[in-house]
Amino acid sequence: MALTLDPQVAEALAPIAAAMVGTTPPPVGDVAARRAALEGLIAHTDAAQPTPTDVTTTEHHLDTVDGEKIRMRWYAKQDSAGQPGPAAVYYHGGGMILGHIDLFDGSIARYVSASGTPILSVDYRRAPEHRYPTPVEDAYAGLVWLHEHAVELGVDPARIAVFGDSAGGGLAAAVSILARDRQGPPIAQQILVMPMLDDRNFAPDPHLAPFVLWSWDDNRTGWGALLGDAAGGPDVPAAAAPARVADPAGLPPAYIEVGQLDIFRDEDLSYALRLSQAGVPVEFHLHPGVPHEFESIAFESDAARRVMADRVRVLAAL
């Protein structure tokens, strides 16, 4: 039996598919065109659901080692005062080349409202203007900052997770590797939602090709922007592409999920297996009939409700 879209997801995606008929995707390397198209879609989908009224936000800034300031936004429930509790550092998606924290404001507030766990969203710098290691170092610095400010924010430093989707999931995995290798801040869990992990994933899969929302040309563009000519070559470090990690032993427990119609399916399956084989506790979900980032568009589908319930459960259990 051939792969097929979940019917509810297919119905939600139909208007986008119709709008794309007759259009030509941007060529490999065209970052500007991808930003113009996808940032508008992200903004639209983020605003399509209500923003909770029980979540407050506070703006913070982080001074980087190279003299820049990056924005961070702290989301917490209004009734969350009390004993120190868990928190998560969040890194948004966007293929390493697009997105910023404002585009994900509603979605992060919804996670916090539903789980009760506060989240620090980090506006890491993007490629190609800022190539590796800058985005990863920004992400790591956000984790360090939250540990340093845990007491004033009411956070238990032993219960801090790293959390991200797509490129942000890759950054969460990279930060987990850096924290282990540098003997840095402890990470309670890495929550990797359809993570972008492997810079060598450029060969189209004909079974997936009819369904992809993030294509192999997009992937080549993202990795090329981050790594330049090194992308796909022999010398890419694990902190840039976590699928390259030589030994996953000692990494934090992981929650990993991916859709069966996502081009990241195989690299995420492999990463979950390698972590498990190295003795790292892993919860893994392969969701049938759904492509990359489907839940932001088909948010009323049963499949989206299942994935969101799992993410909220994991955040609440930190």
Average pLDDT over residues 73-100: 92
- Residue 29 clears pLDDT 70, i.e. is over it: yes
Pairing of the two strands 119-122 and 69-77: antiparallel
Structure tokens at 279: 């003795």
Q: Does the structure show a pLDDT above 90 at 65?
A: no
Tell me the average pLDDT across 123-137.
Answer: 98
Residues that are catalytic: 166, 262, 292
Residue type, 49: Q
Q: Where does 124-221 show beta strands of DSSP type E? A: 155-165, 189-193
pLDDT category of residue 125 using cuts at 50, 70 and 90: very high
Determine the average pLDDT of the residues in 96-105: 98
**Residue 240: band (very low, low, confident or very high) from pLDDT cuts 50, 70, 90:** very high
Q: Is the pLDDT of residue 1 over 90?
A: no
Q: Which DSSP letter does residue 294 get?
A: G
CA distance linking residue 306 with residue 301, whole number of Å: 9
Whole-angstrom Cα distance, residue 278 to residue 247? 7
Instruction: For residue range 251-303, list pLDDT tens digits in order.
Output: 999 999 999 999 999 999 999 999 999 999 999 999 999 999 999 999 999 99
| Structure letter (DSSP) for residue 102 | G
Spans of all domains in the chain: 7-17+30-316
In CATH, which superfamily holds the domain spanning 7-17+30-316?
Alpha/Beta hydrolase fold, catalytic domain (3.40.50.1820)
Cα-Cα end-to-end distance for the chain: 39
When pLDDT is cut at 50, 70 and 90, the band that residue 80 belongs to is low
Q: Which DSSP letter does residue 127 get?
A: T
CA dist 206 and 13 (Å) reads: 20
Q: Cα–Cα distances in Å, from 17 out to 21, 104, 189?
A: 7, 23, 36
> CB neighbours of 262 closer than 8 A, spacing ≥ 6?
194, 208, 212, 214, 268, 290, 291, 292
Given a cut of 70, is residue 81 above it in pLDDT?
Answer: no
In DSSP terms, 89 is beta-bridged to: 120, 162
pLDDT, residue 23, reads: 86
Cα gap 193→164, rounded to integer Å: 6
Phi, psi of 155 (to 5 degrees): -110, 140
